[in-house]
Structure 1
Amino acid sequence: MALRLVNVNFKARNDAALGQFWAEALGWGVSSEGPGVTNVEPVGFNWPDPAAVCVDVVTVPDPETVKYRVHIDLATTSADHQAELVARLKQLGATPADVGQGDVPWTVLADPEGNVFCVLEPREICRDTGPIAAIVVDCADPRAMARFWDEAMDWTLHEVTDDHARLRSAKGVGPYLEFLRSSDAKTVRNRAHLDVMPYRGDDQEAEVARLRSLGATAADVGQGDTPWKVLADPEGNEFCVLGTPR
């Protein structure tokens, strides 16, 4: 049994507006599975597929404005591309953000609802990831987080140190999942979280039990009676286990 990472999920005040921003930022399309939900994915994409981790935006009554422990890094192919992308994102409504990054080669921005993200300088490792280079999770212990997520999913662990860990789909496509050491402890619910899904033929409840044996715990974010299961990883970051595809 194993799971696959399929979405990054953002809570929002206005899912349609924020979803449109991310669709234009990534060059993707939008759809909706129901009121209050905007799905952002490549045009013609047959979800789920490891070639892309999609973006889901969900309207909630009162999304807290907090420093996110989960953010997206965008890939660029040249210095000119980076500058052009930053300028275009600002035209779409992004604003410069200062998270204490200092003098770095990447640019930190915030989307129209304040979600911080990075536009990376050209990196060889990101040349084939697609527009999303990485989904990044701040954490206290990258080694422990890598150990949990390496066992939770069928992704391949590419690098792990005391300060940084990196995983990617075993098929060698799509973005990376990265864990960066941070001194900021988690104190409130995350506004962005990961969605994972079992493979066809696997059982959702069995996967939830397996995750709990690895150190995950049940989490209540007010979800009520839903077809997905909400858990928290060993550092308390919420994530959802979606239903098994038919």
Structure 2
Amino acid sequence: MATRLVQINMKARDEVALGQFWAEVLGWEMSSEGPGVTNLEPKGVVYPDPVAVFIDIVVSDEPKTGKNRVHVDLATTSAAHQAEVVARLTELGATPVDVGQGDVSWIVLADPEGNEFCVLDWHDSNQDTGPIASVVVDCADPRAMARFWGEATDWTVHKVTDDSAVLRSSQGVGPYLQFLRTPDVKTGWNRVHLDVRPYPGDDMEAEAARLRALGATPIDLGDSTIPWKVFADPVGNEFCLLTPM
């Protein structure tokens, strides 16, 4: 048994407006599975598909406080293309932000609701990721994250050091999942989090038990009607186990 990373979940004050921004950024389509939820998916791709990590934007009145612990890196083909992308996204409403990155080759921007993301200045054409080069998660221990997420999902671990860990779908397509060491202390719920799904025919309860055995901690939201399960990974980042699909 295994899960796979299928989407990231973002909270938003105005999920439609933020969805429109990210749809323009990525060139993806918008839909909605219900009130308060905006779904983003690549054109012509049927969810779930490892060629992309999809995005769900969910309305929330919780204020954003501090830097997000989960963000996306956008792919570009060159420094010149990076400048073009940054200019286009600025016109769409993105703003430059300083998160203490110093003198680096990537550009850090924030979307209209303040969610940070990076525009890279490189792209490996032999490993096409699509517009999202990687999903990046801050953590205290990248090695622990590589062990947990490498076993929790069917994603392949490509690199592990004391400072970072990199995984990618076992099919060798789509964006990378990167864990970066940070000294920042986690406070409160993550405004952006990962969602994983078991495969069709797998048993959700058995998968939940397997995740607990790997070190995930169940989180009780006090609502027995929701079909998904909420966990924290070994360093405390929340994620959701969705129903098999």
Distance 1:85 1:68, change over 3 A: same
Residue 162 (structure 1) aligned with residue 162 (structure 2): yes
Counterpart in the other structure of 1:42: 42
Counterpart in the other structure of 2:71: 71
Q: Distance in 1 between matches of 2:138 and 2:125?
A: 20
Report SS of the residue matched to 1:124.
Answer: coil
Counterpart in the other structure of 2:134: 134
Residue 242 (structure 1) aligned with residue 236 (structure 2): no
CA contact (8 A) 1:230 1:240 kept: yes
Residue 214 (structure 1) aligned with residue 176 (structure 2): no
Q: May I ask how many residue pairs the two structures share in their alignment? A: 245
CA contact (8 A) 2:69 2:138 kept: yes
Unpaired stretches in structure 2, ≥5 consecutive residues: none
Q: Distance in 2 between matches of 1:206 and 1:166?
A: 27
Report SS of the residue matched to 2:136.
Answer: strand
Distance 1:96 1:187, change over 3 A: same
Counterpart in the other structure of 1:205: 205
CA shift, 1:43, in A, is 1.1
CA shift, 1:60, in A, is 1.3
Q: Distance in 1 between matches of 2:153 and 2:114?
A: 30
For residues 11-35 of structure 1, give each alpha carbon's deviation from its aligned partner in whole angstroms, at most 9, with x where no partner exists.
Answer: 0101100011111000111000000
Q: Distance in 2 between matches of 1:43 and 1:90?
A: 23
TM (norm. structure 2) is 0.97
Counterpart in the other structure of 2:152: 152
Report SS of the residue matched to 1:90.
Answer: helix
Q: Which amino acid aligns with 1:132?
A: I
CA shift, 1:123, in A, is 3.5
Q: Distance in 2 between matches of 1:27 and 1:133?
A: 14
CA contact (8 A) 2:127 2:173 kept: no
> Cα RMSD (Å) of the superposition?
1.3
Unpaired stretches in structure 1, ≥5 consecutive residues: none
Q: Which amino acid aligns with 1:230?
A: V
Question: Superposed, which structure 2 residues align to 1:53-72 within 5 Å?
Answer: 53-72=53-72
Q: Which amino acid aligns with 1:198?
A: P
Task: Report the identity percentage.
Answer: 69
CA shift, 1:223, in A, is 5.7
For residues 168-218 of structure 1, give each alpha carbon's deviation from its aligned partner in whole angstroms, at most 9, with x where no partner exists.
Answer: 001000000000010001121100000000000101111111000000001
Distance 1:220 1:88, change over 3 A: farther
Residue 112 (structure 1) aligned with residue 131 (structure 2): no
CA contact (8 A) 1:77 1:127 kept: no
Q: Distance in 2 between matches of 1:122 and 1:222?
A: 44
Q: Distance in 1 between matches of 2:127 and 2:121?
A: 11
Distance 1:221 1:93, change over 3 A: farther
Q: Distance in 1 between matches of 2:137 and 2:113?
A: 19
Q: Distance in 2 between matches of 1:58 and 1:126?
A: 34
Distance 1:126 1:117, change over 3 A: farther
CA shift, 1:62, in A, is 2.1
Report SS of the residue matched to 2:205.
Answer: helix
Question: Superposed, which structure 2 residues align to 1:167-182 within 5 Å?
Answer: 167-182=167-182
For residues 64-107 of structure 1, give each alpha carbon's deviation from its aligned partner in whole angstroms, at most 9, with x where no partner exists.
Answer: 33311101000001122111100011111100010000111100
TM (norm. structure 1) is 0.96
For residues 207-241 of structure 1, give each alpha carbon's deviation from its aligned partner in whole angstroms, at most 9, with x where no partner exists.
Answer: 11100000000124566630110110011111000
CA contact (8 A) 1:63 1:191 kept: no
